[in-house]
A and B are shown apart, each in its own frame.
Chain A
Amino acid sequence: MINLSYTFDQDSSSLKIAGMPDVSNGDSEDTIGILSSWTLKIIGSPLLEGEKEHLDNLMQVILLYSRAYVSGIRKTFISDNNIVTISPLGICHKLLLNSTKDGVKPLEIILDDSELSDLTRCLDRIRFDPRVNIRWDINQDKPFSKKYILNSISNQKKKSNFFYALIIFLFSSSLFLFIPTNNKYELIENTTSPKSLTD
């Protein structure tokens, strides 16, 4: 049995896959058609490893998030099996990985823009490498509908608009406190009777 392993490096990310050719699918000797294991090293975080299903989940989420990011959309994406979650965190991105084993706490990795693009490029390489012939359970990069983009972007704007409105309201209300009230004003009853012009 031929065991093959290939490494895909991109600055802060290094993805190593191991497997063998799928002879029934007509793979050549140097092509991985059956994935047996994978390891992902992101600088500054623990080594990640798992089965094909886990890599599928990671690819689904990262590639969809990057695709949305290019369209200016920043929102949370969760993989089909709830294993991988990615959400925006300030100018960074929070990657949350749930283990399928019991008793293992979820792993949280904070990625900046450069690390996100490194990871995305790593996953892109594996998709397009001719030495890898694996059926990935991921979505194609297709245009979003206009409605979806507007809803996704306007939600962020709506939130910030509400926040600004609240600040303006509090600020203007507090300004009123500084306006002095005239406590010396006295109500004097007008006792003089009206006089007619003929008097």
Chain B
Amino acid sequence: MKKSNLIASQNDYLKNGSKYQDTNVNEPFVNCVIAKDTPRKLDFLILVIETLQLNATDSLFLKAKDIGLSDDFSNRAQFWKIRCTNPLRNTYTFKSLSSDQIESLVELISSMADNLYPLIRQLLSSKESKTLNQERWSIFTTRLKSLIRERMNIQRSYIDSLLTEGNSEFFRELLVILSLSCGEGGANRLKASLYYQS
């Protein structure tokens, strides 16, 4: 009880008047800075989307067009440049993401996660048959690891640790983030997790 109250007061949350005053995904956070791991987190989330869906890149571009994002998100080269802000990539550009780019990526990831929710849910569920679940996890981790091997700098110890057998905690974390990022509320949650209060 005390703990949660402390948390609430520490972060100085605002009381939410009504749904019409609720946070909007396009509303910028005041006195907040972009977290250091934001490009890495967003790139890995897109990588999970690519793992869950074949030809996900085309779907991402279509979705970006549908939700009215700028041309940067429907152009293969521009999109790749944005993703290369992840320092763990093979081809890393020394650039940082702007707030607008983060907002667009959050919106894109959130709507893609919404489409893929049944698949994500299946992987996270513990109520289904164990053998079936293990089989699904095995397919998922094998595909994700091959994508990581292909795109990330495998000489980095962090990437090396991700590729070791039996280390699927991080992959599960990514799936949980995706599952909790669906819809408008989910997009707000994801966006809030990419910033720090300064």
Residues of chain A having any CB pair with chain B under 8 Å: 11, 44, 61, 63-64, 66-67, 69-72, 75-80, 82, 91-92, 112-118, 120-121, 123-125, 127-130, 132-146, 148-149
Contacts and interface: CB of A to CB of B under 8 A. Distances in A.
Nearest to A143: B195
B177 interface: yes
A144 B197 contact: yes
Contacts of B126: 91-92, 112-114
Given A128-B184, A146-B196, 20 more contacts: A66-B189, A67-B193, A69-B180, A72-B173, A75-B3, A78-B1, A92-B126, A113-B125, A113-B175, A116-B180, A127-B22, A128-B185, A136-B19, A137-B15, A139-B14, A143-B192, A143-B194, A144-B192, A144-B196, A145-B10
B107 to A, nearest CB: 15
Interface of B: 1-5, 7-8, 10-11, 13-20, 22-23, 29, 32, 35, 120-122, 124-127, 172-173, 175-177, 179-186, 188-197
B192 A78 contact: no
Contact of B192 (A67, A79, A137): A67
A100 to B, nearest CB: 15
Given A71-B193, A112-B125, A143-B193, A128 B22 contact: yes
B15 A139 contact: yes
Contacts, number: 155
A149 B7 CA distance: 11
Contact of B185 (A76, A114, A124): A124
Given A69-B176, A124-B184, A127-B22, A61 B125 contact: no
A117 B15 contact: no
A103 to B, nearest CB: 22
Contacts of A123: 185
Contacts of B191: 141
Contact of A148 (B1, B7, B121, B125): B7
A120 B179 CA distance: 10
- DSSP majority for the B interface? helix
Given A92-B126, A138-B16, A117 B179 contact: yes
A53 to B, nearest CB: 15
Do most interface residues of chain A lie in helix, strand or loop, or is the interface mixed? mixed
A143 B32 contact: yes
Contacts of B2: 78
B86 to A, nearest CB: 17
Nearest to B20: A133
Contact of B7 (A64, A82, A92, A133): A64
Contacts of B13: 139-140, 142
A63 B22 CA distance: 14
B185 A127 contact: yes
A172 to B, nearest CB: 25
A116 B182 CA distance: 13
Given A132-B19, A137-B15, A138-B16, A117 B176 contact: yes
Given A112-B125, A117-B180, A144-B196, A124 B4 contact: no
Given A77-B3, A78-B1, A112-B124, A70 B193 contact: yes
A118 B14 CA distance: 25
B189 A67 contact: yes
Nearest to B37: A72
B5 A112 contact: no
8 contacts: A64-B8, A69-B180, A80-B5, A92-B126, A113-B179, A136-B19, A143-B193, A144-B11
A140 B14 contact: yes
